[in-house]
Structure 1
Amino acid sequence: MMKQPNWLLHRAYVTPERVALIYQDKKWTFRDLADEVNELSNRLAQTSLKKGEAVGLLMNNHPQMVMLVHACFSLGFKIVLLNNKLTKAERRFQLEDAKAAALFTEPVYASDHKGELPVYTMETLPEAGQENVKKIENDFDLNQTATIMYTSGTTGRPKGVEQTFGNHFHSAVSSALNMGLREDDRWLISLPLFHISGLSALFKSVIYGMTVVLHEKFDVDEVIGSIEQHRVTMISVVQTMLSRLLSRLEECPSSLRCLLLGGGPAPLTMLQESKEKGFPVFQSYGMTETCSQIVTLAPEFSVEKLGSAGKPLFGCELKIQDGTRICRPFEHGEIMVKGANVMKGYLYREESNAAAFDQGWLKTGDIGYVDEEGFLFVLDRRSDLIISGGENIYPAEIEAVLLTHSHVKEAGVTGIDDDRWGEVPAAFLVTDHKIPENELYALCESHLAKYKWPASFHFVDELPRNASNKLQRHRLKSKGFLDDSN
């Protein structure tokens, strides 16, 4: 059994006066944070909850959420991170599926789940006991489940991903070995803490001894001000956030040394603009099941290896497989990954786990290839693959081309039934200006083989997305959505 000292307590012992957290105009050192977490742990210990039980956590990005995460770990609770964009019914399913014994939340959500399970807010938690808590976990078992995050569920019911303390620790270490670690590093988190990209930076903070600058949400002007005021060096972004930063800034803030880009490869124009303005963009590939990034592309390769997610982090492995056959360079197949940051498994899903793993390798369900130098190129989700006249078509490839048009703001492509070809691509576009179809076909002609051209273009006000803001391509082909397009 591999154990490590409680991360926050150990960090508060090693570097007590170092700044741990900045939120708006308030700062906490690691000692301050540990003291407040100890007080909170004492309050949690007055409830009837027991070590090993799962508890739901439904909160916005706030210091109280940071402290609750550490307090739950200190008492040995497994945390079910709930997305606050989900409906009550979706959250109820996840709480029931995880067998959550209680829910910690904010007053605004508290009434949603009353009567279903014990619900606590910071205002309704019991007062601290007279004596210090005797149940504090001074060590973490690296094989023990720390957090449970439900997959987005683009198809079917979402599944709970069991992430262990070891998964989170090795994710942080692999990231540091890839991007380096500096004494003055400060990581700005504006992505939700209930997502792995936000939460993983929180764990990096206590493992590295690094300051986190926390924002409730991404507001481009507030984030730019915060980067400059607090000399932020690292920030996790998705494509829309990077786009907004580029639109506001003519050059990269001098303190920034890394923008870790997740959520899919960025379009060529965005990468070129990033390079011209000096933004050090690290493209990455990862998922909830891999506790954030598992493959990352360094900025020096961002144009030379355009569209690539990079190479596996140190200690991680990658292969492309077609059935039982390992693919050669440039051959398309399923992306398989292995590493100490790969999940323990799906919670209470024996069949899913048997299907997800192959001799220790995780089947990602994504399609991609590696080039002759081992750089990964992610093409699409296997479930989104369009097979037209026997040809494999990847919607993301078509979407990337359509997004190069200056008036196309969002693009979604899916396969629709066709008597002759079986399936053909159809494109759904959000635009800021009317675009003649012949312009779009001319764009496709210059970048795509003819069988990849969309058979139709549909102009819509918005694209269907889930609570994690991921495009739901399977909903594009629904009759209701088609009827609403013009």
Structure 2
Amino acid sequence: MSYMPNWLRQRAELTPDRLAIKSEQKEYTYRELYTASQRRASFLKHSYSLKKGQHIALLMKNSVDMVITIHACFLIGVRTVLLNTRLSSQEVEWQVQNAEVSFILCDRYYAEIVDSIKTVEILYHDQLEDLPSFEKFEEETEIDLRDVATIMYTSGTTGHPKGVIQTFQNHWSSAIGSTLNLGLQSTDRWLLAVPLYHISGLSILIRSVLYGICIVLHDKFDPVKMNRAIQQDKVTIVSVVTTMLKQMVDALGTDEYPTTFRCMLTGGGPIPRPILEVCVKKGIPVYQTYGMTETASQIVTLSPEYCLKKLGSAGKPLFQCEVRIENSGQSCAPNEEGEIVVKGPNVTEGYWKREEETNKSFVDGWFYTGDLGYKDEDGFLYVLDRRTDLIISGGENIYPAEIEGVMLSHSNVKDAGVVGIEDETWGQIPHAFVVLHDERGDQNILEHCQEYLASYKIPKSITILPELPRNASNKLLRRLLKDSVKGHAQ
């Protein structure tokens, strides 16, 4: 099957009066969302002569208006380039030039970022608020699953970022794999507090339309508001990363979630045992996952019944997907470490205008992720770290994520990051950065590490910071820690 009806159009026909979006300011049924998206599409198409296959960029924060604009782009058939709102002006300009966009549609809030860009036309979102009367236009009533829907740029550790090509087939397959794993209930509500410009946020939006469920939309992450939404807004599913989960559990205190809450979907690395034990005690159903922009969100998931039995595992591949571990071109035996290689209909076809990187990362339909891991004897995947983050000290491999997990289990550690620094004797040694709950409280962090880690893994120095550098999806930006490590050890 290559073609299918436009997703929002068909959803509006099937369940027009079902709630589609709930935010603090607005609520939309699917009929209302479809009509609003048609109006937006009509304005953009007639005012800017947009045609199917053109590229436009969005620089917007989470809002109902951003949701409407994304759907409008799908109705027109233009490819949507989703820009990280934390980018500098130079970074935005490089990405929109690389992606060959016709114009940037952005919130006025980001005027300082885009005003200096002269190579691409800028359209501010508040210019769309007073739309002319609805004009009929030839919308894309069908979706060709082979068409490019979106392009997202990865953060990249060196050089320019890579534009990940995401087809409708990628998004469709991701949604199907997810629901075959998590199940689907007509009363489901998915809390969306991760950025819509990130695959974690966009995938929730697309799934909501395909599933016919409501998204509860937050403009940003706030642990107190997240907990309140679960308790009061009938939220049943939430997507977070480990650091977000820890903050939510801390903010929850002695309270608990209602029994209707059925899924805490987590990414961003393994969850430390103390946090998992609290979640089990409180009856919080945690699903640990592994995925990335190139896989259109999760590709591996661990169900709650295994969260302690298979501590640290990301789980098993979703339906239609395959995962193997490879070292020097050979498949690894159980418990043997190597590079994680994945395959499936949700995996991107490559990078925009980056043929060399595409050919390097994609071989015979398999995507070489650059992540290190292993499968145990039962086929459960364990993600160790990025190949580029690996610390080699005296010939021993040290995985920063393992150390961070131990440090996060300390009662006074709010956040933690570990990088390798040069050492004349050992080549590299681990250095830690931590954020404390209370700087006057217990700081015996290294003593805590000695209980759980081999001596060569224990950080030789610690820097205490007010916060760690993380991107909008809460992914730790290790390269910034590496840049700042000199002269900061305490």
Paired position in structure 2 for 1:14? 14
Q: Which one of 428, 431, 439 corresponds to residue 433 of structure 1?
A: 439
Paired position in structure 2 for 1:144? 147
Q: CA deviation at 1:467?
A: 4.9
* 1:419 is aligned to 2:424: yes
Paired position in structure 1 for 2:456? 451
Paired position in structure 2 for 1:107? 108
Q: CA deviation at 1:408?
A: 2.0
Q: Take 1:244 and 1:422, find their aligned partners in 2: how far apart are those partners? A: 35
Contact map agreement 1:226 1:232 (CA 8 A) in 2: yes
- Change in CA separation of 1:130 and 1:182 when aligned onto 2, cut-off 3 Å: closer
Contact map agreement 1:284 1:309 (CA 8 A) in 2: yes
- Change in CA separation of 1:122 and 1:435 when aligned onto 2, cut-off 3 Å: closer
Contact map agreement 1:196 1:291 (CA 8 A) in 2: yes
- Change in CA separation of 1:207 and 1:34 when aligned onto 2, cut-off 3 Å: same
Paired position in structure 1 for 2:486? 482
Q: Deviations over 1:378-437 (max 9, x none)?
A: 110000111122221111111211222212222222222222222222222222336888
Paired position in structure 1 for 2:321? 316
Q: Take 2:247 and 2:465, find their aligned partners in 1: how far apart are those partners? A: 22
The one-letter code sitting in structure 1 at the alignment partner of 2:421 is I
* 1:400 is aligned to 2:405: yes
SS at match of 1:243: helix
Q: Take 2:429 and 2:14, find their aligned partners in 1: how far apart are those partners? A: 60
Paired position in structure 1 for 2:346? 341
Q: Take 1:159 and 1:475, find their aligned partners in 2: how far apart are those partners? A: 19
Normalising by the residue count of structure 2, what TM-score does the alignment of the two structures yield?
A: 0.94
Q: Take 1:305 and 1:9, find their aligned partners in 2: how far apart are those partners? A: 42
Q: Deviations over 1:197-241 (max 9, x none)?
A: 111010001111111111111223333333333311111112232
Q: Take 2:487 and 2:93, find their aligned partners in 1: how far apart are those partners? A: 32
SS at match of 1:309: coil
Paired position in structure 1 for 2:69? 68
Contact map agreement 1:236 1:259 (CA 8 A) in 2: yes
Q: Deviations over 1:160-216 (max 9, x none)?
A: 111100000000000000000111111111111111111101000111111111111
Q: Take 1:252 and 1:397, find their aligned partners in 2: how far apart are those partners? A: 29
Q: Take 1:446 and 1:110, find their aligned partners in 2: how far apart are those partners? A: 51
Q: CA deviation at 1:25?
A: 5.2
- Matches for 1:133-282 after TM superposition, within 5 Å: 133-134=137-138, 136-249=139-252, 250-282=255-287
Q: Which one of 366, 385, 390 corresponds to residue 371 of structure 2?
A: 366
Matched-pair identity in %:
50
Q: CA deviation at 1:108?
A: 2.0
Contact map agreement 2:315 2:381 (CA 8 A) in 1: yes
- Change in CA separation of 1:313 and 1:402 when aligned onto 2, cut-off 3 Å: same
The one-letter code sitting in structure 2 at the alignment partner of 1:378 is V
Q: CA deviation at 1:459?
A: 2.8
Paired position in structure 1 for 2:34? 34
SS at match of 2:261: coil
Q: Deviations over 1:335-375 (max 9, x none)?
A: 11111111121110000001111211111111111111011
- Change in CA separation of 1:88 and 1:375 when aligned onto 2, cut-off 3 Å: same
Q: Take 1:27 and 1:435, find their aligned partners in 2: how far apart are those partners? A: 44
The one-letter code sitting in structure 2 at the alignment partner of 1:103 is I
Q: In terms of mean alpha carbon deviation, does 452-461 or 263-272 score higher?
A: 452-461
Normalising by the residue count of structure 1, what TM-score does the alignment of the two structures yield?
A: 0.95
Q: CA deviation at 1:148?
A: 0.6
Q: In terms of mean alpha carbon deviation, does 236-245 or 457-466 score higher?
A: 457-466
Q: Take 1:417 and 1:26, find their aligned partners in 2: how far apart are those partners? A: 53
The one-letter code sitting in structure 2 at the alignment partner of 1:77 is V
Q: Which one of 472, 475, 480 corresponds to residue 470 of structure 1?
A: 475
- Change in CA separation of 1:204 and 1:459 when aligned onto 2, cut-off 3 Å: same
Q: In terms of mean alpha carbon deviation, does 212-221 or 382-391 score higher?
A: 212-221
- Change in CA separation of 1:359 and 1:52 when aligned onto 2, cut-off 3 Å: same
Q: Take 2:225 and 2:479, find their aligned partners in 1: how far apart are those partners? A: 35
Q: Deviations over 1:458-480 (max 9, x none)?
A: 333333334543222233333x4
Contact map agreement 1:154 1:466 (CA 8 A) in 2: no
Q: Take 1:449 and 1:244, find their aligned partners in 2: how far apart are those partners? A: 28
Q: CA deviation at 1:26?
A: 3.0
Query: What is the aligned length?
Result: 483
- Change in CA separation of 1:428 and 1:111 when aligned onto 2, cut-off 3 Å: closer
SS at match of 2:388: helix
Q: In terms of mean alpha carbon deviation, does 237-246 or 278-287 score higher?
A: 237-246
Q: Take 1:278 and 1:148, find their aligned partners in 2: how far apart are those partners? A: 38
Q: CA deviation at 1:111?
A: 5.7
Q: Take 1:474 and 1:62, find their aligned partners in 2: how far apart are those partners? A: 30
Q: In terms of mean alpha carbon deviation, does 412-421 or 113-122 score higher?
A: 113-122
The one-letter code sitting in structure 2 at the alignment partner of 1:303 is L
Q: Take 1:232 and 1:63, find their aligned partners in 2: how far apart are those partners? A: 18
The one-letter code sitting in structure 2 at the alignment partner of 1:301 is Y
The one-letter code sitting in structure 1 at the alignment partner of 2:185 is R
Contact map agreement 2:19 2:27 (CA 8 A) in 1: yes
The one-letter code sitting in structure 1 at the alignment partner of 2:64 is P
Paired position in structure 2 for 1:23? 23
Unaligned stretches of 5+ residues in structure 1: none
Unaligned stretches of 5+ residues in structure 2: none
Q: Take 2:479 and 2:109, find their aligned partners in 1: how far apart are those partners? A: 32
Q: In terms of mean alpha carbon deviation, does 292-301 or 114-123 score higher?
A: 114-123
Contact map agreement 1:5 1:140 (CA 8 A) in 2: yes
* 1:327 is aligned to 2:339: no
* 1:298 is aligned to 2:303: yes
